[in-house]
Amino acid sequence: MILLTRGPHFSLIIACGALGAFFMPFLALTLVLMLNGWAVPREWRSGWLSNLLLALA
């Protein structure tokens, strides 16, 4: 981890981590909506555990 702070790509690594953190809630919400939508057959929809874990994300 100390080696990451010494390289010229340190800011790029931090920026990728921050953008990934902002993208995660959008991805979780999109998956909840898509996997529980009316176009998905009832037997293929997400269960309560999957929905709970996506809501926590």
Model-level pTM? 0.66
Instruction: Quote the radius of gyration of the chain (alpha carbons, Å).
Output: 17
pLDDT of residue 36: 93
pLDDT of residue 2: 63
**Please, are residues 19 and 5 in contact by the beta-carbon 8 Å criterion?**
no
pLDDT of residue 4: 61
Q: Any idea which residue has 């080696």 for tokens?
A: 3
- Could you give the angle at the alpha carbon of 36 between the alpha carbons of 30 and 42, nearest 5°? 155
From first to last of the 57 residues of the chain, give the pLDDT tens digit.
665 666 777 778 888 888 988 999 999 999 999 999 999 999 999 999 999 998 998
Element (H, E) at 10: helix 10-35
Separation CA 24–CA 51 (nearest Å): 15
